A and B are shown apart, each in its own frame.
Chain A
Amino acid sequence: MAETVGSTTCSALVIGGSAGSLDVLLEIFPVLRNDIHFPIIIVVHRKASNESLLTDLLKSRTTLAVGEAEEKEFLMPGKVFIAPADYHTLIEEDRSISLDYSEKINYSRPSIDVTFQSAAEVFKEKLVCILLSGSNADGVEGLKSVNNYGGKVVIQNPNTAIMPYMPQQAVINVKPHVILDGHDMADYINNLND
């Protein structure tokens, strides 16, 4: 019995996005419940120089704790971790964060694939990954891993994405658990808490 309950529970949520994803994030954050009991990791492509801009923006829209992911920091429930610009963010078996300055993947650092893949191995069927708007194919390989490990794949409806290419590629190549319009994302995330 306990196992059945466990398998439907979310232990971590990772949201990946590129061009056009900020609008969705800014819509999601103000309505997130303040008692979220899983960590949220955000991986958004951006220029290396815009250091804390994204963190500050998201911080201003929620009462949840928001911070840039620091290396060796442990994922905490109810906290939002922003993958820092110009590093890949990986999740370790002990649920701590590793940063990595290796080659760009899909011309991107942070790469969404890298975080999705490493989180998939750690959280397996208790992971939920959401892929938002973007104009390259980063995230698709990562979502395949999430599927392989039994996690949930959520893709933004390309028709509602400012840049449809990234979610489109995902829909073509990965079997999603659900496809959602941008403005339905917040409800979906809040319901993961139940």
Chain B
Amino acid sequence: MISDVIDNEQVEILLNDVLESHGYDFLEYSHASIKRRIIRLYGLDNFVSFAEFRYTVRTDKQYFKRFLEEITVNVTEMFRDPSFYKSLRNDVLPVLGTYPFIRIWVAGCSTGEEAYSLAIVLKELNLLHKSLIYATDINPSVLEKAKKGMFPLTYLKQYSENYLQSGGLKDFSTYYTANYSLAKFDESLNRKMIFSTHNLASDHSFNEFQLILCRNVLIYFDKELQHKVFNLFDGSIEKLGYLALGSKESLEFWPKAKEYKRIKMEKIWRKL
């Protein structure tokens, strides 16, 4: 990847176009990351000039779909950070289990691996029947994949190890059926999921939740946008509800952080 084919000014121009023509605001994303994604896509799709790239992004609706999918990071895993899921299983979900009804928001769910992981834990705690998982992402095409609940079989060995380390109780393979190169997850899991587009940079709160999971999404935002999103979450979490972040993310520098209490060593905070 040649790193200097598009300069900072051109990145700015392109992102302004995207906002104007398509209504997606990436101007408050971490610059180095988004620039790298843009240059990567430019190279992947063999553009010969910035002008051509810019024109295509601005005017070609079909191509913009691809642009959106490729400049956002959609890498995810089932039961990523097993100790995090162990804490959800042992510390957080049993508390939520005392409620008559559990509403969870997986913000930035990408292709759905975390939503399915969560559904599995809820099922094993016998709470899935009274839970609803709202899984949202900026990107409609990843949501289509998430709805299907089919993940590449090659990753399942890793997922199964993660699951066991996180305190999983069953044989992981009972949750899916292998179908050629894909593992299709049990439909009882996604019956309790609602998939919808939601843009954390521009959309508002749409409900109140007892748990919000937003992991490895905020690392792509600059500090101002991170704080905006924390405020959005704050307005969407019930009192005594929980907020869960990625392993390198923190509430620490957000002014209202003192109204939240961290749970053990994990990146989980409880609203006081």
Seen from chain A, the residues whose Cβ lies within 8 Å of a Cβ on chain B are 70-72, 84, 87, 90-93, 98-103, 113-114, 117-118, 120-121, 141, 145, 148-149
Contacts and interface: CB of A to CB of B under 8 A. Distances in A.
B75 A103 contact: yes
A120 B3 contact: yes
Contacts of A118: 3, 32, 36
Given A71-B219, A91-B32, A145-B3, A101 B8 contact: no
Contacts of B250: 70
| Count class of interface residues, chain B | 20 to 34
Given A93-B31, A99-B219, A117-B3, A84 B36 contact: no
A148 B32 contact: no
Given A120-B3, A121-B3, A141-B1, A100 B31 contact: no
A102 B32 contact: no
Interface string B123-142: 00000000000000000000
Given A98-B32, A145-B4, 13 more contacts: A71-B219, A71-B248, A87-B248, A90-B30, A90-B33, A99-B248, A100-B30, A100-B36, A100-B73, A101-B219, A102-B75, A103-B75, A149-B4
B223 interface: yes
Nearest to A120: B3
B8 to A, nearest CB: 7
Contacts of A92: 30-32
B220 interface: yes
18 contacts: A71-B249, A90-B32, A91-B32, A93-B31, A98-B31, A99-B219, A100-B73, A101-B75, A101-B216, A102-B33, A102-B36, A102-B73, A102-B75, A103-B75, A118-B3, A145-B2, A145-B3, A149-B4
A49 to B, nearest CB: 10
A98 B248 contact: no
Contact of A114 (B4, B30, B36, B220): B36
B37 interface: yes
Contacts of B30: 90, 92, 98, 100
Nearest to B31: A92
B24 to A, nearest CB: 18
Contacts, number: 63
Instruction: Please name the 10 residue pairs, one residue from A and one from B, whose CB atoms are nearest each other, closest first.
Output: A90-B32, A117-B3, A98-B30, A102-B73, A101-B216, A145-B3, A100-B33, A118-B32, A99-B219, A92-B32
B3 A102 contact: no
Interface string B246-259: 10111001000000
Q: Which residue of A72, A99, A149 has the most chain B CB atoms within 10 A of its CB atom?
A: A72
Interface string B60-83: 000000000000010100000000
B234 to A, nearest CB: 19
Given A71-B249, A84-B248, A93 B8 contact: yes
Given A71-B219, A71-B249, A87-B248, A98 B4 contact: no
A93 to B, nearest CB: 6
Contacts of B31: 92-93, 98
B163 to A, nearest CB: 15
A97 to B, nearest CB: 9
A102 B248 contact: no
**Max chain A Cβ within 10 angstroms of own Cβ: one of B1, B3, B30, B73:** B3
Contacts of B223: 72
Contacts of A98: 30-33, 219
A192 to B, nearest CB: 23
Nearest to B246: A101
Contacts of A120: 3
Contacts of B33: 90, 98, 100, 102
B157 to A, nearest CB: 15
Interface in B1-54: 1-4, 8, 30-33, 36-37
Contacts of A113: 1
Nearest to A51: B247
